[in-house]
Amino acid sequence: MKLVVAIIRPEKLEDVQQALAERDVYLMTVTDVRGCGRQRGYTEVYRGTEVRIQLIPKLKLELAVNEAFVEATVEAIVHAARSGDTGTIGDGKIFVLPLEDCVRIRTGERGSEAIGP
C-alpha cells in the first residue's frame, strides 16, 4: 500500500479527477493549501501598492492506493496536471510514501481490503 500525495494547480483538479477515473482510481482527499517552490511567488498591485505574494494557492491530493495502482495513479496525475506538452514551473509535485496500515472504520477491515480495489 502507498500514499500518493500530489500538489497541483487548482484549475487542474477536474482534469486530474477525470484521468484518475479512467484508471479506476476514485478515492481521494483534496485540501486547499498554500506554498512556494521554484515559482517563488509573484507581484501584484493592490490599491496602488505593489504586494509580493509568496505563498501560491495549490491543491493537495491524498490517495491511498494498493501497489497495483501506484504507477497508473502517478502517470494519470502527471499527464493531467502538466501545463502544455512540456510543463511549466508551478505544475506541482507528487510524493509516493509507504502506507503501513489502513482501517475502514465502518467495517473494521484492515490493510489493502480497507483501501479497496
- The residue range of the domain holding 23 is 2-115
> Into how many domains does the chain fold?
1
> Mean of the per-residue pLDDT values for the chain?
92
Burial class (CB in 10 A: 0-12, 13-18, 19+), 24: exposed
Min mean pLDDT across 33-37, 68-72, 102-106 is at 33-37
What is the pTM for the complete model shown?
Answer: 0.87
- The CATH number of the domain where 60 resides is what? 3.30.70.120
CA 115 – CA 70 distance, rounded (Å):
13
pLDDT tens-digit readout, 43-100: 888 888 888 888 889 999 999 999 999 999 999 999 999 988 888 888 999 999 999 9
